[in-house]
Each structure stands twice: as C-alpha cells, then as structure tokens.
Amino acid sequence: MSDSKSNFFEDVYDVVRLIPKGRVTSYGAIANYLGLRRSARMVGWAMNQSHGDESIPAHRVVNRNGVLTGKHFFAGGEHRMQELLEAEGVRVKEDQILGFDEVFWDPVVELGI
C-alpha cells in the first residue's frame, strides 16, 4: 500500500494476537512471516512499543532459543511473563520454555505465506 508508515507494527501486533493460547513463537518467525527475516529486532522493538496493550499477548513471543528475553519488560515482576505462560499450560524453567518445539507456533506454517 502507498500509505505504509508504521504498518509494520500493526502487522506484528496482528500476528501476535493470532498466536493460539498455550503456544509461543519467536521474533524471527514473525519477522519471517512479514518478509523481514533479518529484522527480528524490529519485532522486539514493536513489542516494546506495545507495552501497555493487554490485548497483545507479548508473553507468547520469545527468542529462537525459547528463552523469555523480554520478561524484564513486563510489569508486575519479571516472573509475570512466566506466570502468564504457565497459566496457559506452557512449562517454563529458568526463564526457558520446556518442550519449546511442541508449543512453538510458526505463522508461516500455520497461517501460510
């Protein structure tokens, strides 16, 4: 579209909202889905800007290592992100998701390209 301004953030938020409960994805997966394979940082940056919007399950977005890298940005304590994930059935240990491959949700695979 011609009026591409900050649509990137909108797209990121849209994909994050599509993450099913009990599933997680990575910044790179979202970036890849948006065609910005190497712009995973921007996804994280978009999440930072989304801080405060409870409609965006940012806790379901982790890095490719399955580590809750963004936990430190959650309000209510650093363990809030872990609590949110565990409440959805995602096991977390030492800020790392257990069975990451089982709960991983890839928008490119699930939604299609």
Partner DNA sequence: GTTCTGACTGGGT
Partner DNA sequence: AACCCAGCCAGAA
* Residues contributing to the site for DNA (CB under 7 A): 6, 8, 26-29, 31, 36, 38-45, 47-48, 50-51, 58, 61, 63-65, 69-70, 73-74
Which lies closer to DNA via its Cβ, residue 91 or residue 100? Answer: 100
Q: How far is the CB of 88 from DNA (least distance, A)?
A: 15
Q: How far is the CB of 112 from DNA (least distance, A)?
A: 19
Q: How many CB atoms lie within 10 A of CB 98?
A: 12
Structure tokens at 53: 């919007």
Which lies closer to DNA via its Cβ, residue 15 or residue 40? Answer: 40
Say if CB 26 and CB 64 are below 8 A apart: yes
Which lies closer to DNA via its Cβ, residue 45 or residue 91? Answer: 45
Q: How far is the CB of 64 from DNA (least distance, A)?
A: 3
d(CA 63, CA 67): 6
Give the CA distances from residue 67 to residues 2, 26, 33, 94, in Å, rounded to whole numbers and listed in that order.
37, 10, 20, 9
